[in-house]
Chain A
Amino acid sequence: MKRTDYPALGLSLFETKLENGLTLCVIPRPGWRRARACFVTDYGGADRRFVLDGEAYDTPAGVAHYLEHKMFDMPCGSVDDRFAARGADSNAYTSEAVTSYHFLCTDKFEENLRDLLEFVSTPYFTPETVEKERGIIGQEIAEEEDDPAAAAYMGCIKLLFGEGPLGDMVVGTAASIADITDQTLYACHKAFYAPANMALCVAGDVDPEAVERIARETLPGEKAPLRSRDYGPDLGLEPLETRVQRTMDVSAPQFCAGLKLGPAAQGPETLKERLTAELAMRCLWGGHAPAYIGLYEKGLLNDTFRFSATYAGGVGYICLEGESPDPEAALTGLLAAEKGIDPAFFARQKKAVLGGFIRLLDDFWELTESLADGTFGGFDPLGMPAALETLTVEDVNGWIREHIVPDRFALSVIRPKEA
């Protein structure tokens, strides 16, 4: 395995690519009790249309997530018991961009790793087991639909992307999952769960060579081709519509404002692009930014306010979410933020972003998932401090000038019912 040292971080990364195309990343952390492994496929809620064995597939919203639920079934029963018996916490999640299977353990790391690799590469679905899951996922969807913050977000991405791979919720709807069958799941597994489309990332007091050996012993040796995906036509930077609202039982208006960033970078440039966006948003809207503090003092925002960037389906978009008595005024205030960032303030935000990155190194969830992210994006997440060093206030001001165009923001609001 190739070893790269990061002396400033006090870490080393071991990585390699197996003949079957799987990328392995291991960060040893001596003295830690817990170890975390994630086995991640570059396949998420947005990857709905693809070609497999000459046939074009157009799968319903929620299929990647449905597949994730059913992967834990093995011909001999659920794999859950094996992890649980060793006190290992196993779980999975599906985002727009990826599906991640993972465990956190304090004992018998190698046995847990074997089980993880085995069950994720063993599709086993029957019409009965697939049918049975529909009630469970149906309640997961119902829960999300009753959640005002999720409802505001859902409204926002529909404004940005409409119906389709990027505008639909990852979990789907009761209607969209109604026709998913075992055959749908087999096709998606075959298309996207080949080692070449996956990454295995580990952090903990573990031996990198052992991880590589187990991966070789457990996974298929041949390399399957990567599938091309179709995310539909380029929708441009303008939202399809700019405003939507609905009412729910909520204490005060909840909002989500969204903006498309356009095509996302590929390869090493990705890190700089994402870092610039993060730093720019922090300078504009972070907890210490003048615009946020002004709106907080006026009572137009409270500490539920947050911002995020998402990269999936080849594009990026940002969301500003929170609660406000007047979301329209809050958004106006956020977008009226100083366009030329004060250089001293910028320098402090750089320091703070570096501190935030170092903090994440102790968070094995973030650490391992970021390695998978870097694998699929073609960049090195641990190169962050070096990339941050090169960023200037001009980079950030340029990003703001390019992207922060008030007319391009969409705003989704959940209002309380009239008393």
Chain B
Amino acid sequence: MTRSRRELLPGVFLTCLQTEKFKTGILRAHLLTPLDRETAAQNALIPSVLRRGTVRYPDMGALGARLDELYGARLEPSVRKLGEIQCVGFVADFVETPGQDVLEDMAALLGEVLLSPNTRGGLLLPKYVESEREKLLQDIRARVNDRAEYARQRLIELMCPGEAYAVDGLGDEDTAGDIGYVALTRHYKALLAAGPIEIFYCGAADETRVAAAMKDALAMLPRGELDFDIGTDIRMNTVEETARAFTEEMDVGQGKLVLGYRLGDAMEDPDMAALRVMNYILGDPAGASYVSSKLFLQVRERQSLCYYVDSELDLMKGLMIVASGIDPADHEKALAEIGRQVQAVKDGDFTDDELRTARAGLSARMLSLTDDPARLEKFWLEQNVLGLDYGPEELAALALDVTREDVIKAAAGIECDGVYFLRGAEGDDDEEN
């Protein structure tokens, strides 16, 4: 696999991974902009409105027909939150077998939806904006339907008030509700002019071909003064001396417990491999080591308190989020056990086997990533934003070198800053024992 990266146009970066291994190619483009409560909903709305119709393909039927022609290629709006950066754009994937070579067509289509929306008098069509605004509002409201994800998001909102990180990637109902088509058109043009763009391709075509196709596709891109001043503020210490507790009620049987931790000093000059290995020891659900991790073994297997309990890092923001679904009556027990396991990692209270398994888990996870174009794109977008140049293979090698001391150092500054509990209304279950 050959990797290359270059600035294609001012502030437009192309990352290319060339390999013959896959039968599918992917092409993705994201505009990067600061995550901000005032603009998050507008930004999130833009790709959905653009996807409704373009100059050449004026409605969903015409765009759909084009994609079907290209062997069922997919081109979907994408909205992501990366630390305190909002990324909006499109993700495309398409067949790349001999006789079904559609790269240039897909690049052109990507450029078309990004730059040539169906407009009237230079403005985005009111009916598209209104219809997609309704759907954005539905999506924002629908967060409650996924209880686990909702609890995670509520913890972040309550734990990080005053930090841009508290804003959801889709924005909120208040700011989404009154977006009009004139203001959205203006905002769209400003975003196109100022936002850095990250383009990613993984597939069989060589870099010069991809670069030429994308340069053609983006020839009409209006560029103004670029806003490179985007990044994430990392809060090192907790807001108060002791963790703040938040409890909310919903009509549910299972309680959702979420704990938010600041990683602290380790974020000064973060050792990414050590931080990850530390979290694999604790309970990162992405690793093969998860079933041997402290949270899984102690909270689930030994105490039978839950079906899931896991720990995820946000290395952009310097946070660790532990989450579990439990019987509300077990709230205190689960809280105490999770706290004990985090403390054990900080104290270096883990065996050499636990360390070895965590290292092997992270290493395998990184190597396995090289077989997965979609995950490679996410990995490289993060690396590019963080200004890091090493790939998954290098990180896999670094993982194997992480020592016990590295882990203890990575965990040393971890402090719990907030505990959130979502539960059924009091009286709906047995008294706490």
Binding site for B on A (CB under 8 A): 9-10, 31-34, 78, 80-81, 83-90, 104-107, 132-140, 142-143, 145-149, 248-252, 254, 287-288, 290, 293, 296-297, 299, 302-304, 323, 345, 348-349, 351-356, 358-359, 361-362, 417
Stretch of B114-122, B223-231, B366-374 that contacts chain A? B366-374
For residue A347, give the distance in angstroms from its CB to the closest CB of chain B.
9
| Interchain CB contact (< 8 A) of A106 among B60, B145, B353, B368 | B368
Residues of A within 8 A of B363 (CB): 87
Known: A85-B360, A90-B291, A355-B94. A304 touches B21 (CB 8 A): no
B326 touching A139, Cβ below 8 Å? yes
From 134 to 190 in chain B, residues with beta carbon under 8 angstroms from any chain A beta carbon are: 134-135, 138-139, 141-148
B61 interface residue per 8 A CB criterion: yes
With CB as the reference atom, state the residue of chain A lying closest to B292. Answer: A84
B325 touching A142, Cβ below 8 Å? yes
For residue B287, give the distance in angstroms from its CB to the closest CB of chain A.
8
| Interchain CB contact (< 8 A) of B145 among A143, A148, A354 | A148
B304 interface residue per 8 A CB criterion: yes
The distance in angstroms between the C-alpha atoms of A138 and B253, with both chains bound, is 11
B254 interface residue per 8 A CB criterion: yes
Known: A81-B357, A352-B71. A139 touches B142 (CB 8 A): no
With CB as the reference atom, state the residue of chain B lying closest to A141. Answer: B307
Residues of B within 8 A of A348 (CB): 65, 68-69
Known: A89-B364, A107-B364, A355-B100. 14 other contacts (CB 8 A): A87-B361, A87-B363, A105-B364, A136-B301, A139-B306, A146-B254, A251-B144, A252-B138, A252-B141, A254-B145, A293-B59, A293-B64, A299-B131, A351-B68
Ordered by A's residue number, 21 sampled pairs between the chains whose C-beta atoms are within 8 Å are A10-B23, A31-B20, A33-B370, A80-B292, A81-B292, A83-B291, A84-B292, A87-B361, A138-B327, A139-B326, A142-B253, A251-B143, A296-B60, A302-B135, A302-B139, A352-B72, A354-B71, A354-B72, A355-B71, A356-B72, A359-B95
A85 touching B131, Cβ below 8 Å? no
| Interchain CB contact (< 8 A) of B65 among A81, A148, A288 | A288
A34 touching B69, Cβ below 8 Å? no
Please, what's the 1-or-0 string for B1-39, where 1 marks a CB less than 8 Å from any CB in chain A? 000000000000000000011111000000000000000
With CB as the reference atom, state the residue of chain A lying closest to B370. Answer: A33
B50 interface residue per 8 A CB criterion: no
Binding site for A on B (CB under 8 A): 20-24, 59-61, 64-65, 67-73, 93-95, 97, 100, 131, 134-135, 138-139, 141-148, 250-254, 287-292, 300-301, 304-308, 325-327, 353, 356-357, 360-361, 363-365, 367-368, 370-371
A358 touching B71, Cβ below 8 Å? yes
Residues of A within 8 A of B308 (CB): 143
B68 touching A34, Cβ below 8 Å? no
| Interchain CB contact (< 8 A) of A32 among B21, B146, B305 | B21
B251 touching A249, Cβ below 8 Å? yes
Residues of B within 8 A of A356 (CB): 72
A32 touching B371, Cβ below 8 Å? yes
Most central of B21, B71, B306 by chain A CB within 10 Å = B71
Residues of B within 8 A of A304 (CB): 142
